[in-house]
Structure 1
Amino acid sequence: MTPSRPRLTWTRAVAYALAASGLVVLALMAVFASRWMTSFGPVQDFVRAYPGEYELPSFVKTGIPAWASWTHFLNAFFLVLVIRSGLRVRGEKVAGGLWSSKRVKKRRMSLALWAHIAIDVLWLVNGVVFVVLLFATGHWARIVPTSWEVFPNALSALIQYVSLDWPTHNGWVNYNALQQLSYFAVTFLAAPVAAVTGFRLSAFWPKGNERLTRAFPLEWAKALHFPTMLFFVAFVVVHVGLVFATGALRNLNHMYAGQDAVSWTGFWIFALSLVAMVSGWFLVKDRVIAPIAKLFGDVRLRK
C-alpha cells in the first residue's frame, strides 16, 4: 500500500505564506537599496565605466547559429525530463517497475531510476555536441570570459538589474557579463557536477574500486546532486523571466528563429517547444518507459 502524502495543515500553509512574504520583502529591500546606491556619484561613475558588457574578440560572428538553437531546445527539453524523472526517483516509496541488466545480473534498479539515467545520458550527449560545436565555430567566446573586465561588468549588470534600471540587452551581438558568467557556470560547472554526482549515485558506479569510492564518498554526491538540480530550476526561472521582460519577441526570434527581428515567428516556435516539454513531463511514466527499457534489459512492472 502506497503511503499517503502529508496533508497541508493550516500551520504549514501559514509558514509557506510567511516565507513567500519574506522573500517579497527582501526583494523590495534589495531594489530600494540598489536604487539608493546608484544615486551616489562613485557608483554612477562605475556603471558608466563598466556598462555591463565588454567587447568580444574579432573572430566571434554576430548572430545565433542554427545548431545553437537546436541544442538549446534539446537542452531545455531533456532538462525538463531530467527534473521530472529525478523528482519521481526522490518521491517514490515503492517502485512501480524494476529494470535489470541482461549482462550484469546484479545490476538492477527501479524503472524510474533507469529512466532518469537514460534521460541524463541524452542530455549529456546533447551537451557534448553543443560544446564541440561551440569551440569548433569560435562561438565559445560568447559564453567563456576572455577578459578580466567580465567581473566589474558583471557587478555593474547586477546593480542595474536589481535597481530595475536594466542594462541594454542585445543577445544577437553580445551577452552582458552577468549572462556570460551564468551561461559559463551552467555549461562548464553545474552540468559536470550533476553528471558526476549522478554517476556516483547510480548502480553503474564501480563499487569494487575502494580507492575511488573513498576518494568520492556517497555522502558528498548526495549533498551535491539535489542542490544542483535546484540551481538549474532557479536558473531556468530567472532566465525565462528575463527573456520575456527584456523584449520577448526579439529574444525568442534570436534563439528560435535565427533572426534579429521583432515578429511572432520565434514565439510560435517557442510555444511548440513548450507543448513538447509539457507532453514529455506527463509521459515520464513507467508504462511509457517500460517498452523502451526492455530494449536494454529485463523489465517487470508491478500490477
Structure 2
Amino acid sequence: MPSFFPWWVVVTHFLNLFFLLLLMRSGLEVLSAFPKLYWDDNCPPGREWARFSKKMYGADSRKPWSSLDEEESWSPVVALPGRKNLGLGRHWHFMTVQFWILTGLVYVVLVFATGYWHYLVPTHWSIVPDSLRAVGTYLSFQIPPRIPGEPFEAAQKLTYFLLIFVLAPLQIASGAAMSPTVLARFPWFGKLFGGKQGARSVHFLGLCAFAAFTVLHVFMVIVHNLPDEFVLIVLAGHGSRALTVGVGLAGLFLVLLFHVVITWFSLRYRRRTQRLLGFVVNPFEKVISRSLTSRQHLAATDISPYHRVNGYPPVGEDYDQMVTTEFRDYRLAVGGLVENPTTLSLEELRGLGETSQTVKHNCIQGWTAVAQWAGVPMADVLAHVRPTAEARHIVFYAMDDKGLTEAEGRYGFFYGSIPIHLAQQPQTILALEMNGEPLPVAHGAPVRLRVETQLGFKMVKWVVGIELVHDIDQVGMGMGGWREDQQFYANAAGI
C-alpha cells in the first residue's frame, strides 16, 4: 500500500485546485453572455429555470431585441477576464480544460498503478449506510472513526469516489454535449442530457457541486485538525509545521497573484491573449471541425416556436430599398481565386441547386433553436465558380455595418470566413428560406450562410459577396472574421 499522501497526490491535488479555479472563473465569463439556464432546447423567453440577470425580454415584445441585449458585464473579480469578453473567456476555458483532463488522467492511472484505489473505490454497498451514519456523527459535532486500515471514514471515501469517478466525467461529458460539432455528428449524445440546454444546466450544476465540495473540503480539513492535515496536503507529511504553513500560504498567494496578473493582462492586451491562448485552443477546435460532419435530421415538430437572433439588420436606404422590392435587384458577387467569377441574382442562385434541412442552431452565447432552412448547397456554388488550387478559405461579406448596429467601440462591415473543406460538407448551404417562408430580414435576408457544425457567429447573415482566398491574414484584421477581429473569438467554432 502507498503512504497516505504520496508526492503525486500532493502535486495533482494542487494542480486540480489551480485548474478548477481557472475553469470556474472562465466558465462564469461564458455564462455571462447568456445568463439564463433552460432544460428546453427551444429556449423560450421567460421560461428559464434560472436567471442571473434583471433583464427581461419576451417573444411578443413590441420593441425589437437581440440576444446580445441579454448579455451581462460581470466583474473581473469573479469572471475571467470579465467585462463582456466572451471570446477570451472561451479561450481560457478551453485551454484550461485540456490540462485539467490531462491531470485527471495522470491521477487515475497512478491511483490504479500504485494501489491507491483501495482508499477511493468502495467495494461493498455498506458504504452507503456507513456514510449516512458518518454524516449523522458530524451533525452531532463528533468525528466519526476511520474505516479500519484506511485513512478515510466512510462519508469521505464515498464523496471522493463520486467526485473523481462520477462528477468529473459528468462535467467532461456535459461539456462535450454543448459542442455544435459533436451534436451535429452524434445527435444521440446530446439526447443523453435532454439536449444541449440540459447539458448546459448539468454543467452549471456540476460547477456548483465542485464549488460546494471545495468549501466543505476546506471546512473538514479544519475540523480534522488543520495543522496535521496541512502537513499531509502540502508536503506529503514531510517537514515541520512552520515550513508547511509557509509553503502552503506561499502557494495560495502565488495562485491568487497569477489570477490577478492574467486578468489584468487579458483585459489590457486582449489581442496578445487571443493569440497566445490560440496556440493551444485553435488546433483542438480545427481538428474537431475537420473530422466530424453534420448528420442532423430533425422533424418538423421539433421546430422552435420562437427563434432568437444575434445582432440587428443593416440600416440605410440601400438595404431598405432592397427589402421594399423583395430583393429583385439583389446580386451576389462570387470571386477571388476562382476560374469563373460571377454575379448572381436570387433566381440564378436558386438555379444552382436546392436542398432543405431541419437543424439546431447553436449560438456562441449559449442559446439554441431549431428551424428548417432551405437554399443552395455551397458545394454547388463552388462547382459553378470552380476554385483554383490555391483557394483555401472562403470569405463571406455582409451588408451590416456593425459601427451602426452594435457600436460599443467596434466598427466596420461584418464578414466571416470558413475553410473550404467546411463549405463542401452536405449541410453547408446558402439559406434563402426559413420554415417554408422567404428568409426573414431579422435572420439574414436575402442570403445567409448555414454551417451546421459551427457556432452561429460563423453563419454570416445578409451576405452580399463571397471571395475565395489562399489565406485570411490579409482580410480585415487578419483573424478570420469580424467577431474574431473585434471581439477576440476563435476562428474555428466547433466547440
Task: Say yes or no: TM over 0.5.
Answer: yes
Percentage of pairs with the same residue: 27
Q: What are the superposed Cα offsets for residues 75-109 of structure 1, whole Å, 9 maximum, x if unpaired?
A: 010001100100111114389xxxxxxxxxxxxx8
More strand by share: 2
1:253 aligned to 2:194? Answer: no
Going from structure 1 to structure 2, the CA distance change for 1:66 and 1:207 (only over 3 Å counts) comes to same
Partner of 2:154: 177
CA RMSD in angstroms, aligned pairs only: 2.9
**Which structure has the bigger radius of gyration?**
2
Name the SS of the counterpart of 2:485 in structure 1: strand
Q: How far apart are the structure 2 equivalents of 1:168 and 1:263?
A: 25
Q: Which runs of 5+ in 1 are unaligned?
A: 1-59, 96-108
Pick from 204, 207, 217 the counterpart of residue 184 of structure 2. Answer: 207
With structure 2 as the length reference, what TM-score do the two structures score? 0.43
Preserved CA contact (<8 Å) 1:190 1:228: yes
1:123 aligned to 2:100? Answer: yes
Partner of 1:76: 17
Partner of 1:150: 127
Partner of 1:66: 7
Partner of 1:292: 276
Q: What are the superposed Cα offsets for residues 59-86 of structure 1, whole Å, 9 maximum, x if unpaired?
A: x333211001000000010001100100
Q: What are the superposed Cα offsets for residues 183-219 of structure 1, whole Å, 9 maximum, x if unpaired?
A: 1111011101111111122355252444444555212
Name the SS of the counterpart of 1:205 in structure 2: helix
What residue identity is the alignment partner of 1:202? S
Going from structure 1 to structure 2, the CA distance change for 1:279 and 1:208 (only over 3 Å counts) comes to same
Q: How far apart are the structure 1 equivalents of 2:110 and 2:158?
A: 19
Preserved CA contact (<8 Å) 2:119 2:150: no
Partner of 1:132: 109
Q: How far apart are the structure 2 equivalents of 1:146 and 1:250?
A: 28
Q: How far apart are the structure 1 equivalents of 2:166 and 2:247?
A: 29
Going from structure 1 to structure 2, the CA distance change for 1:160 and 1:88 (only over 3 Å counts) comes to same
What residue identity is the alignment partner of 1:293? L
Going from structure 1 to structure 2, the CA distance change for 1:242 and 1:233 (only over 3 Å counts) comes to same
- How many residue pairs get aligned? The number is 232
1:198 aligned to 2:179? Answer: no
Preserved CA contact (<8 Å) 2:234 2:244: yes
Partner of 1:268: 246
Q: How far apart are the structure 1 equivalents of 2:17 and 2:236?
A: 17
What residue identity is the alignment partner of 2:279? L
Q: Which runs of 5+ in 2 are unaligned?
A: 34-70, 74-85, 283-478, 489-495
With structure 1 as the length reference, what TM-score do the two structures score? 0.68
Preserved CA contact (<8 Å) 1:81 1:119: yes
Name the SS of the counterpart of 2:144 in structure 1: coil
Bigger RCO of structures 1 and 2 (CA < 8 A, at least 6 apart): 1
Q: How far apart are the structure 2 equivalents of 1:220 and 1:87?
A: 17
What residue identity is the alignment partner of 2:103? N
Tell me how far 1:112 sits from its aligned partner: 1.3
Preserved CA contact (<8 Å) 1:75 1:123: yes
Partner of 2:201: 223
Name the SS of the counterpart of 2:184 in structure 1: coil
Q: What are the superposed Cα offsets for residues 16-38 of structure 1, whole Å, 9 maximum, x if unpaired?
A: xxxxxxxxxxxxxxxxxxxxxxx
Preserved CA contact (<8 Å) 2:2 2:114: no
Going from structure 1 to structure 2, the CA distance change for 1:84 and 1:119 (only over 3 Å counts) comes to same
1:85 aligned to 2:26? Answer: yes
Q: How far apart are the structure 2 equivalents of 1:203 and 1:293?
A: 21
Preserved CA contact (<8 Å) 2:134 2:154: yes
What residue identity is the alignment partner of 1:125? L
Q: How far apart are the structure 2 equivalents of 1:86 and 1:259?
A: 34
What residue identity is the alignment partner of 1:292? L
Preserved CA contact (<8 Å) 1:62 1:173: no
Q: How far apart are the structure 2 equivalents of 1:151 and 1:262?
A: 37
Q: What are the superposed Cα offsets for residues 257-303 of structure 1, whole Å, 9 maximum, x if unpaired?
A: 11178723332222122123323433243537324224254453549
What residue identity is the alignment partner of 1:115? W
